[in-house]
């Protein structure tokens, strides 16, 4: 039995990759093992922990619950794509570093992508909205205290940057 392979073009962080994958290949596995973009992590493979969250056309999606073949025609953003073009940390990444929002770092990519999308939708979240924004992601190390602070800090960094841009 030979598995049928499909030609798929995955657009990840603005770069097009042509891969051949079986229909059952998860997007998370394609990113990690076919494209070697290992920043996206897999924590449960059943959509609960959120570690594998990537942005699909800007919206946070669990890449362990998507097939690679269904991501054709989509713009995918992974944690690697959150870093600025000059290599410096993006605002959410920077906020996590400043607030000690991570320990082992395994769940972190899913939080970073989720918060990036969350702040795009709601750039000035209240404290409670910051907590809500991360309420679908599991972290076993931090007890979430500093992740909430990091969401608030990220919002502040982005606001300061947009003020600067306007000025």
9 in contact with another protein (CB under 8 A)? no
Contacts with another protein by CB under 8 A: the residue count is 62
Residue 167: CB minimum distance to another protein, A: 28
Using CB under 8 A as the binding rule, whether residue 49 contacts another protein is answered as: yes
Q: Does 1 bind another protein (CB under 8 A)?
A: yes
Structure tokens at 138: 């599991």
Binder among 55, 119, 147, 154 for another protein (CB under 8 A): 147
Q: Within the chain, how many helices (H) and strands (E) appear?
A: 5, 5
Query: What DSSP character marks residue 85?
Result: T
- Taking each helix axis as running N to C, give the angle between helix 145-166 and helix 91-99, from 0 to 180 degrees, rounded to the nearest 10: 140
97 touches another protein (CB under 8 A):
yes
SS3 call for 50:
coil
Among 29-37, 65-73, 117-125, 156-164, the segment contacting another protein (CB under 8 A): 29-37
Q: Is 15 in the site for another protein (CB under 8 A)?
A: no
Position 77 contacts another protein (CB under 8 A): no
Query: Which residues fall within 8 angstroms of residue 46, CB to CB, at 6 or more apart?
Result: 64, 65
Q: Interaction with another protein in 118-137: which residues (CB under 8 A)? A: 127, 131, 134-137
Smaller CB separation from another protein, 16 or 163: 16
Q: What are the phi and psi torsion angles at 5 (to 5°)?
A: -105, 150
Here the tokens at position 158 are 């982005």
Q: Are 131 and 73 in contact (CB under 8 A)?
A: no
Distance from C-alpha of 151 to C-alpha of 129, rounded to nearest angstrom? 10
User: Interface with another protein by CB under 8 A: which residues?
Assistant: 1-3, 22, 24-25, 29, 32-46, 48-49, 51, 78-80, 82-83, 89, 93, 96-98, 100, 102-109, 112, 127, 131, 134-148
């Amino acid at each position: 039995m030979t598995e049928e392979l499909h030609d798929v073009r995955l657009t990840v962080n603005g770069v097009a990759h042509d891969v051949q994958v079986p229909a059952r290949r998860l997007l998370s596995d394609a990113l990690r093992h076919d494209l070697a973009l290992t920043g996206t992590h897999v924590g449960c493979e059943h959509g609960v922990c959120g570690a594998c969250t990537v942005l699909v056309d800007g919206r946070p999606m669990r890449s362990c619950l998507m097939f690679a073949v269904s991501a054709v025609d989509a713009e995918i953003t992974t944690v690697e794509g959150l870093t600025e073009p000059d290599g410096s940390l993006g605002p959410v990444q920077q906020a996590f570093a400043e607030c000690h929002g991570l320990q082992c770092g395994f769940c972190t990519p899913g939080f970073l992508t989720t918060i990036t999308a969350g702040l795009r939708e709601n750039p000035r979240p209240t404290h409670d909205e910051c907590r809500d924004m991360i309420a679908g992601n599991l972290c076993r190390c931090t007890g979430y205290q500093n992740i909430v602070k990091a969401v608030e800090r990220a919002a502040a960094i982005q606001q300061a940057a947009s003020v600067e841009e306007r000025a």
